[in-house]
Copies of this chain bind each other. A is one copy, B any other.
């Protein structure tokens, strides 16, 4: 008798993760608030709506070009609140520290969290510290939970997708994955790739305020652009057709991908959103997003179509169409 165990791929953010969550967490926690696995739950506190989310950060290495685990832990949770239309307000900070972590590393990480919280307009208000023996964790893991507020006039990403709607991405994809990977593999590259790790609150608000209809809004994290867009089309009567030439990928990220045989479309970001909005609003929304610090390179990369129901198809530079699927196992473990 073989016993089923948890595999690394279950943490990829792709289809194995999805299956694990469906078979375990969603089975035992069958709250309607969890249905559809939104980035944040929408709860009511004495009639006041709020967003509530949690995320643990296990990135390896702790420090990478453009950021560290502390910055990531704040912005990651801020972004999960932002993409449901909430304004991030309060953050918790729970540390699991492996015995032997240099105290100077801890200070650097906490200082980075504080700066990130200030920059994102949030506050760390509660915390916890656990220490486990050497070999029972990996340096430090950080969990942050977050509470966000909804403005009374908040627009929310809950419209139904229609054929002809367009896909917006708020900037070049894969920077975070490439930065962490180059630090982990000790790659010495001509042009350093910096993580795109940043708060997307303003980007999300610009989309929600500017678009007549927003049918999908998510931050692109584990599993990259294609994995997150699969969430938009799963079981839907429409699919998405993306134009490869229009998907922004920095040359440095492309080089790392070629060197290591990776696909940038599955590479993690930490400061990008992907959205599906009505076509008519698109020019105004792109303009508005480009005025935000994290959205300067926003662009439209494709559209919703009835032709490929439930699927994501990429139109290559040669005009051919290829089907792309959700990541199944792990491409890159411990990217966030």
Q: Which residues of A contact B (CB under 8 A)?
A: 3-11, 17, 20-21, 24-25, 27-29, 31, 33-34, 40-41, 43, 45-48, 50, 52-56, 58, 89-90, 92-104, 106-107, 110-111, 113-114, 117, 123-133, 135-138, 141, 143, 145, 147, 149, 333-334
- Residue ID in chain B nearest A11 by CB atoms: B131
Pair A94/B45 contact, Cβ less than 8 Å = no
Pair A25/B56 contact, Cβ less than 8 Å = no
Given A33-B125, A141-B96, the answer on whether A132 and B54 have CB atoms closer than 8 Å is no
Cα distance A106–B25 when bound, in Å? 9
Given A34-B125, A126-B33, the answer on whether A93 and B132 have CB atoms closer than 8 Å is no
Cα distance A1–B145 when bound, in Å? 37
Partner of A56, one of B50, B94, B106: B94
Partner of A101, one of B6, B17, B114, B125: B6
Cα distance A179–B278 when bound, in Å? 59
Pair A29/B100 contact, Cβ less than 8 Å = no
Pair B97/A133 contact, Cβ less than 8 Å = no
Given contacts A6-B103, A52-B92, 6 further A-B contacts (CB under 8 A): A28-B107, A29-B123, A40-B126, A43-B90, A45-B50, A58-B132
Given A6-B106, A114-B28, the answer on whether A94 and B143 have CB atoms closer than 8 Å is yes
Pair A129/B21 contact, Cβ less than 8 Å = yes
Given A126-B54, A333-B131, the answer on whether A29 and B93 have CB atoms closer than 8 Å is yes
Partner of A129, one of B10, B28, B110: B10
Chain B neighbourhood of A131, CB < 8 A: 6-11, 333
Partner of A11, one of B132, B138, B147: B132
- Residue ID in chain B nearest A25 by CB atoms: B127
The 7 A-B pairs at the shortest CB distance, nearest first, are namely A11-B131, A145-B145, A54-B92, A41-B125, A143-B143, A28-B110, A41-B126
Pair A93/B25 contact, Cβ less than 8 Å = yes
Chain B neighbourhood of A56, CB < 8 A: 94-96, 128, 130, 143
Chain B neighbourhood of A52, CB < 8 A: 90, 92, 125-126, 145, 147
Cα distance A239–B7 when bound, in Å? 53
Chain B neighbourhood of A137, CB < 8 A: 136-138, 141
Pair B54/A97 contact, Cβ less than 8 Å = no
Pair B123/A31 contact, Cβ less than 8 Å = yes
Given A131-B7, A132-B334, the answer on whether A31 and B124 have CB atoms closer than 8 Å is yes
Pair B58/A145 contact, Cβ less than 8 Å = no
Chain B neighbourhood of A145, CB < 8 A: 52, 54, 92, 94, 143, 145
Pair A3/B102 contact, Cβ less than 8 Å = yes
Cα distance A137–B134 when bound, in Å? 10
Chain B neighbourhood of A24, CB < 8 A: 103, 106-107, 110
Chain B neighbourhood of A113, CB < 8 A: 28-29
Cα distance A145–B33 when bound, in Å? 16
Cα distance A128–B97 when bound, in Å? 19
Q: Which of A46, A130, A333 has the most CB of B within 10 A?
A: A130
Chain B neighbourhood of A33, CB < 8 A: 123, 125-126
A82 CB to nearest chain B CB (Å): 15
